Copies of this chain bind each other. A is one copy, B any other.
């Protein structure tokens, strides 16, 4: 199958102004952004994000995690760590007509057999199962469970920049045989360069060939490459991409929704409501909440390390002491 490329600078002149209708955008502002504040968003904020996605024509909106109540104390986290059915319905109504509703379920942190209801009892459309490479069998079981309950499912293999190629291929083989509707390249550390994104996208597409499963990309902005890498994945053939309004997300944040919608040129997407939300909500919020590119994230990204030390540094009393952080990261093994 020839995948029409997405955007400018193609040999075929019409591609300059065309778009690829099969690309679908998932907004994970509330889900990934929740990693910045223990998911403590109020209803006003979550409704605004949801309504913005409706107005912008975004295809999916992911509102949080389905975390185990046994493992996580309810009073330490906001509602969107758990995404109870009643909370979801308060935001999206009983029969949401806009974007599909997604939630994320972490391997080994979700009581999925009980907490993920049969589809007929839920407004959720899509369960995205997140796992590290050692959790793939658990994730596959979770995908089967959600699939059998009636959901669309996605495999989110995290931290792929530190997984040996053979193991990625093993995970992709298992995913190809599973009922998952697709698999995402998840650059958890924001450490991938564009060539690596192109290579991985081709590897994932090859592994999914003939299954009808989609390939997606979820980037982080540690090296100011969140948007750039998302474009590269699209050009290499990925059809699913994650973005967040104003790039809100853990650490250096994600691919900004306002940039990716502008790039895609699909007339169903509307940029203006996203810019309104940036202006009304996210810019004021950025004065009190630290997310987005800064040098500590560039340091962990370049070293291909988890951003946790950079996040702790940015939350410390010396967030802008780049040099001490740089020296610390270079003294400690990765």
Binding site for B on A (CB under 8 A): 5, 7-10, 193-196, 198-199, 221, 223-229, 231-232, 235, 256, 258-259, 262-263, 271-272, 275-276, 278-279, 283, 295, 298, 302, 320-323, 326
- Check if B194 sits within 8 Å of A231, measured CB to CB: yes
Query: Nearest-CB distance from A321 to chain B (Å)?
Result: 7
Tell me the bound Cα distance from A92 to B182 in angstroms: 58
- Check if A195 sits within 8 Å of B235, measured CB to CB: yes
- Check if A9 sits within 8 Å of B323, measured CB to CB: no
- Check if A224 sits within 8 Å of B226, measured CB to CB: yes
**B9, B272, B295, B321: the one within 8 Å of A198 (CB):** B9
Tell me the bound Cα distance from A199 to B231 in angstroms: 16
Q: What residue in chain B is nearest A229 (Cβ atoms)?
A: B228
6 further interface pairs, Cβ-Cβ under 8 Å (given A8-B195, A271-B326, A278-B295): A193-B263, A194-B231, A224-B259, A225-B227, A279-B323, A283-B320
- Check if A8 sits within 8 Å of B196, measured CB to CB: yes
The 3 closest A-B pairs by CB, nearest first: A228-B228, A9-B195, A9-B196
Tell me the bound Cα distance from A57 to B199 in angstroms: 32
18 A-B residue pairs with Cβ-Cβ distance under 8 Å, sorted by A, are A9-B193, A9-B196, A9-B199, A194-B231, A223-B259, A224-B224, A224-B259, A225-B227, A225-B228, A227-B228, A258-B298, A262-B302, A263-B302, A271-B326, A272-B323, A279-B320, A279-B323, A283-B320
Main SS of the interface on chain A?
A: helix
Taken together, the copies of this chain in the complex come to 2
- Check if A193 sits within 8 Å of B326, measured CB to CB: no
Tell me the bound Cα distance from A259 to B295 in angstroms: 9
Chain B residues near A283: list those with CB within 8 A: 320
Chain B residues near A272: list those with CB within 8 A: 323, 326
- Check if B196 sits within 8 Å of A279, measured CB to CB: no
Q: What residue in chain B is nearest A271 (Cβ atoms)?
A: B326
**B224, B227, B276: the one within 8 Å of A256 (CB):** B224
**B196, B235, B258: the one within 8 Å of A295 (CB):** B258
Query: Nearest-CB distance from A292 to chain B (Å)?
Result: 9
Query: Nearest-CB distance from A263 to chain B (Å)?
Result: 7
Given the known interface contacts A224-B256, A231-B193, the answer about A326 and B9 at a Cβ–Cβ threshold of 8 Å is no
Chain B residues near A194: list those with CB within 8 A: 194, 228, 231-232, 235
Chain B residues near A221: list those with CB within 8 A: 224
Query: Nearest-CB distance from A114 to chain B (Å)?
Result: 42
- Check if B223 sits within 8 Å of A278, measured CB to CB: no
- Check if B279 sits within 8 Å of A321, measured CB to CB: yes
Query: Nearest-CB distance from A270 to chain B (Å)?
Result: 11
- Check if B7 sits within 8 Å of A193, measured CB to CB: yes
Chain B residues near A232: list those with CB within 8 A: 194
Greatest chain B CB density within 10 A among A193, A231, A271 is at A193
Greatest chain B CB density within 10 A among A235, A271, A279 is at A279
- Check if B323 sits within 8 Å of A276, measured CB to CB: yes
- Check if A262 sits within 8 Å of B298, measured CB to CB: yes
- Check if A323 sits within 8 Å of B262, measured CB to CB: no
Chain B residues near A226: list those with CB within 8 A: 224
Tell me the bound Cα distance from A232 to B229 in angstroms: 11
